[in-house]
Amino acid sequence: MFAKRLSAAVAASICFAMPAMADKLDEIKDRGVLKCGIHLGKAGFATPDAEGTWQGFDVDYCRALAAAVLGDATKVEFSTMSSKNRLTALVTDEIDVLSRTTTFTATRDMRNGVDVTTPWFYDGQGFLVKKALGVSSAADLSGATVCTYPGTTSERNVNDFFETNGMTYKALIIEGSAEAKTAYLAGRCDVITNDRSALAATRLGMSDADAHILLPDVISKEPLGPYVKAGEGRWRDVAAWTAMALIAAEEMGVTKANAASMADTGGPGIKRLLGSEGSIGEGLGLETGWARAAIEAVGNYGELFDRHLGANSPLAFERGLNAQWNEGGLLYAYPFR
Amino acid sequence: MPVHEISNLPVTPRAPAATDRSFASLAQWMRRNLFQDITSTLITVFVGLILLWQIPPALDWLVFSAVFSGEGRQACTADAACWIPIFEYFNVFVYGPYPAEQEWRVNVAFLLGLLAFPLLFSRRMPRSLVLAYAALLPVALWLLLKGGGFLEVMPSTVFGGLMLTFFLGTIAMCLSLPVSVLLALGRQSKLPIIRWICVIYIEFVRAVPLLTFLFMASLMLQIFLPGGMEIDRLLRILAVMIFVSAAYKAEILRGAIQALPKGQFEASYAMGCGYWKTIFFIIMPQALRNSVPALINNFIGLFKETTLVMIVGLLELVGTIRAVFQYLEWIGLDVEGLIVVSFTFFVICFSIAQYGAHLERGIEASRH
């Protein structure tokens, strides 16, 4: 009897201790500022400029999200997150969204108290080699010495790749990407393997960048994208659909410059996206012009990619998997209807 | 041989003072110090050759061929240092993402920190004034940089660069010392509860790496706290640095207190001084003097440990420099960045060490 009463009392006190929390979306709107977790510094994705302002592909996603939710792309507070505390920071509400080149995996989505949204960048493990080697594809790498990192998935991926293709290789296991680069430049290994976006940056940092090439092969799947706290359905929708809106905008030919005129002159699909028809914004709990605000703040996906990673950036990363679905890539925004 | 005789042995005369700059004395000095016998001659020649071999190319890389100004990455050359980004990003290194229109607050904070040095070095300043300054400095820095009152409140996310290093280092140094005094006294307390609490605390903290505590403060604390309650990220990290460092300092102080002759306590009690008077007027002044070298060592270590906060996502000077050299235009110039970091840390840590040497000279003088 006593135990029963005690447990009831404990249960009651726990319930009462839980504050009546508004949902994440309302909380952000009330606060008037979006708290976004970003990388500590990763070429093309998040780096400070000479004014100390964060710039990059992941950073601009946060700006777009702030524009969509709050109508102002500057209402973002960027928190740098290490790879150790990034997911916990979401769970403990230190940040609202994590836009930090974090791979979508089953374990993270299911177990860590966080939810995936939609892929923002398809990365994958690749190889960087010296041009002098005369190699044009990873299939020619048999017998090569490969610089890799200890105990990471990348080490396992390389092993799987060479084994399935019946090729031999010698692994040189090195801690840290700077050390790997030094070893590679000193000729201790023929190949460095890492995520391709990181390799492109490594290559750019070499004084003789043109003497090295990034092989086109991709040997692992690394879908990177924003994470949100688990159980925040409405907020997850907003985070996912903002990314989709930027992707759809590219597909429909809506750019930062022409978004305003397209809202009046575009086809019905474009009008629904930009909010001049339909009620998608309302359904998300946002203003009708939410997607237009995001596009006008940072540009469409293609503009963003070119600016930070692609043709207009020194990284000159090819679109590859990150091209639209009708151009051989994987970008496939769900229909806005 | 009894001790007093050793100290009375004739001392070999010192090398001529630096004021005597004649060539003869230089030759004499060299003969005595560099070419005394075959071994030392060989070592001198060997070291001299290494220096001749290494220093000119190093200087050439660092200064003579280095690029100091120009437009963008194209101005850099492949085989010499490129200092352009260091100048271009100077503000980012110093202020981090702190808003430009509020940078004066950081400047005032640096000034307050610098002002501590003449205060500390002056032998005429009353001790109480110096102590009061050291006690108020952390509070002043917090209010100034975090805001409050008439100053706009700044989120912790705008703290970065040298300013964050300075903020963490200075506050942790100033506040860990008083905590460590209490711990050292508590460990020697005659009250068993207090003694045991202090012993367990010190032993536990010393046995766990600082990094683990930083992780706990950054990850677990928030999970344990009731929903909606949040302790500022900087505050959590600062608390860890203060309380971990205090445990080490407490042991240094305990050693110094135990080294004091029992007679000091007894004489003080015989004079009618109570516990607190004995501690603060007789024991602590002597214990602190005796532990100056070890404490300065600990301060320097603590200052350098501020770089560990990178692991919990705070960008202090080293982190900021690493982030900047991920910027596409300047990617790959990490070496230049690390040289700047090393130089900055050297200047700060060497200043702290110099203050220690200054204190020791004062103590030495007061003994004669």
- B17 pLDDT tier (thresholds 50, 70, 90): low
Pairing mode, if any, of strands A144-148 and A191-195?
A: parallel
> CB of A226 within 8 Å of any CB in chain B?
no
How many CB atoms neighbour CB B272 within 10 A?
A: 7
A34, β-bridge pairs: A76
Homologous superfamily (CATH) for B85-367: MetI-like (1.10.3720.10)
Q: Give the one of B88, B218, B320 whose C-beta lies nearest to A50's C-beta.
A: B88
Average pLDDT, chain A: 90
Q: Residue A201 is inside which H or E element, if any?
A: helix A196-204
Q: How far is CA A217 from CA A30, A137, A194, A213, A326, in A?
A: 47, 7, 12, 12, 21
> CB of B326 within 8 Å of any CB in chain A?
yes
The percentage of residues in chain B with a pLDDT greater than 70, rounded to a whole number, is: 93
What mean pLDDT do residues A220-246 have?
96
Least confident segment among A148-162, A229-243, B94-108 = A148-162
Q: A129, A215 in Cβ contact below 8 A?
A: yes
What mean pLDDT do residues B243-250 have?
96
Tokens of B57: 């190319």
The residue ranking higher by pLDDT, A10 or B345, is B345
Q: Sort B4 into a burial class: Cβ within 10 Å, 0-12 / 13-18 / 19+.
A: exposed
Chain A residue numbers with beta carbons less than 8 Å from the beta carbon of B218 are 84-85, 88
Residues whose CB is less than 8 angstroms from the CB of residue B146 and which lie 6 or more positions away in sequence, other chains included: B153, B154, B156, B232, B234
| Phi and psi angles of residue B228, each rounded to the nearest 5 degrees, phi first | 85, -20
Tokens of A27: 């909380």
Q: How far is CA A302 from CA A99, A214, A263, in A?
A: 18, 22, 19
Reduce the DSSP state of residue A100 to 3 states and report it. coil
- Report the C-alpha gap between A206 and B65 in whole angstroms: 19
The residue ranking higher by pLDDT, A155 or B320, is B320
Q: Which domains does chain A have, with CATH numbers?
A: 21-122+223-327 (3.40.190.10), 125-220 (3.40.190.10)
Q: Residue A146 is inside which H or E element, if any?
A: strand A144-148
pLDDT at A8 over 70: no
Report the residue of B157, B224, B312 to disrupt the A interface, i.e. the one with the largest count of A CBs within 10 Å: B157
- B233 pLDDT tier (thresholds 50, 70, 90): confident
Cβ contact, residue pair B226, A19, below 8 Å: yes
Q: Give the one of A41, A91, A206 whose C-beta lies nearest to B323's C-beta.
A: A41
Least confident segment among A312-326, B89-103, B322-336 = B322-336
Cβ contact, residue pair A52, B160, below 8 Å: yes
A77, β-bridge pairs: A35
Residues of chain B with CATH 1.10.3720.10: 85-367
Pairing mode, if any, of strands A47-48 and A54-55?
A: antiparallel
Cβ contact, residue pair A204, B314, below 8 Å: no
Average pLDDT, chain B: 89
Closest chain B C-alpha to A14 CA, distance in angstroms: 10
- B25 pLDDT tier (thresholds 50, 70, 90): confident
Q: Sort A181 into a burial class: Cβ within 10 Å, 0-12 / 13-18 / 19+.
A: buried
Q: Give the one of A19, A49, A207 whose C-beta lies nearest to B227's C-beta.
A: A19
> CB of A187 within 8 Å of any CB in chain B?
no
Place of tokens 């660069």: B161
Q: B320, A36 in Cβ contact below 8 A?
A: no
pLDDT confidence of residue A9: 42
Least confident segment among A248-252, A315-319, B71-75, B131-135 = B71-75
Cβ contact, residue pair B96, A52, below 8 Å: yes
pLDDT confidence of residue B18: 52
What mean pLDDT do residues A317-323 have?
93
> CB of B72 within 8 Å of any CB in chain A?
no
Q: A205, B332 in Cβ contact below 8 A?
A: yes
Tokens of A42: 């990763």
The predicted complex's ipTM stands at 0.84
The percentage of residues in chain B with a pLDDT greater than 90, rounded to a whole number, is: 66
Chain B residue numbers with beta carbons less than 8 Å from the beta carbon of A18 are 226-227
Q: B135, B174 in Cβ contact below 8 A?
A: yes
Q: What is the dihedral of CA B258, B264, B270, B274, to 10 degrees?
A: -60
Pairing mode, if any, of strands A191-195 and A125-130?
A: antiparallel
> CB of A177 within 8 Å of any CB in chain B?
no
Helices A196-204 + A177-185 axis angle, to 10: 60
Helical spans, DSSP H, in B208-333: 210-215, 221-224, 233-259, 262-270, 275-277, 284-290, 292-305, 317-324
Cβ contact, residue pair A80, B313, below 8 Å: yes
pLDDT at B169 over 70: yes
What mean pLDDT do residues A127-132 have?
94
- Report the C-alpha gap between A155 and A67 in whole angstroms: 40
pLDDT at B11 over 80: no
Closest chain A C-alpha to B163 CA, distance in angstroms: 13
pLDDT confidence of residue B247: 97
- Taking only the tens place, the pLDDT of each residue in A281-308 is 999 999 999 999 999 999 999 999 999 9
Cα Rg, chain B, nearest whole Å = 26
pLDDT confidence of residue A59: 97
Residue B220's closest chain A neighbor by CA?
A: A88
pLDDT at B223 over 90: no
What mean pLDDT do residues B318-345 have?
92
The percentage of residues in chain A with a pLDDT greater than 90, rounded to a whole number, is: 79
| Phi and psi angles of residue A310, each rounded to the nearest 5 degrees, phi first | -95, -135
DSSP codes joined into one string, B254-288: HHHHHHS-HHHHHHHHHTT--HHHIIIIIIHHHHH
What mean pLDDT do residues B211-231 have?
81
| Phi and psi angles of residue A78, each rounded to the nearest 5 degrees, phi first | -90, 125
Q: A194, A210 in Cβ contact below 8 A?
A: no
- Taking only the tens place, the pLDDT of each residue in B46-66 is 999 999 999 999 999 999 999
Q: A93, A204 in Cβ contact below 8 A?
A: no
Q: How far apart are the first and last CA of chain A?
A: 58
